[in-house]
Structure 1
Amino acid sequence: MNSKEIDFTQLIQNNQGIVHKVCRIYTDTQEEHEDLFQEIVLQLWKSFDSFKGDSKFSTWMYRVGLNTAITLIRKKSKSIPVTSIDSTNFSHLKSQEYDEVQEERLKLLNSSIKKLNDVERALVLLYLEELPYKEIAETMGITEVNARVKMNRAKEKLKEMMNPSYARK
Structure 2
Amino acid sequence: MDFKAVLSDYGPMLSRIVASYEADPAQQQEVLQEISLALWQALPKFRGEGSLKAFVARVAQNRAVTHVAKAASLPRKAELDERLACAADGPEKSLEKEQQRAMLLDAVRTLPLGLRQVTTLALEGFSHREIAEALGITENNATVRFARAKEALKLAMVSGPRVRGGVS
Q: What per-residue deviation string (whole Å, max 9, x for no partner) do you get for residues 66-111 of structure 1?
A: 101101210234234399987568x7xx8x5454766654443333
Deviation at 1:139, TM superposition (A): 0.7
Deviation at 1:166, TM superposition (A): 9.5
- Identity among equivalent pairs (%): 27
Residue in 1 that maps onto 2:62? 67
- Within 5 Å, give how 1:32-47 maps onto structure 2: 32-47=27-42
Give the structure-1-normalised TM-score. 0.78
The structure-2 alpha-carbon separation of the partners of 1:88 and 1:157, relative to structure 1 and needing over 3 Å to count, comes to: farther
Give the alignment's Cα RMSD to 1 decimal: 2.9
Specify the code of the residue in structure 2 equivalent to 1:57. Answer: L
SS in 1 for 2:137: coil
Structure 1 regions of 5+ residues with no counterpart? none
Specify the code of the residue in structure 2 equivalent to 1:155. Answer: K
Q: How many residues align?
A: 159
Is residue 2:121 matched to residue 1:126?
yes
Is residue 2:19 matched to residue 1:24?
yes
Structure 2 regions of 5+ residues with no counterpart? 163-168
C-alpha distance in structure 2 between counterparts of 1:165 and 1:43, whole Å: 36
The structure-2 alpha-carbon separation of the partners of 1:145 and 1:12, relative to structure 1 and needing over 3 Å to count, comes to: same
C-alpha distance in structure 2 between counterparts of 1:54 and 1:66, whole Å: 18
SS in 2 for 1:142: coil
Deviation at 1:150, TM superposition (A): 0.5
C-alpha distance in structure 2 between counterparts of 1:126 and 1:84, whole Å: 22
Residue in 2 that maps onto 1:152? 147
C-alpha distance in structure 2 between counterparts of 1:36 and 1:111, whole Å: 18
Is residue 2:132 matched to residue 1:140?
no
SS in 1 for 2:74: coil
Specify the code of the residue in structure 2 equivalent to 1:127. Answer: A
Higher fraction of helix: 1
Contact 1:85 1:125 in 2 (8 A): no
Give the structure-2-normalised TM-score. 0.78
SS in 2 for 1:26: coil
Contact 1:126 1:136 in 2 (8 A): yes
C-alpha distance in structure 2 between counterparts of 1:65 and 1:50, whole Å: 15
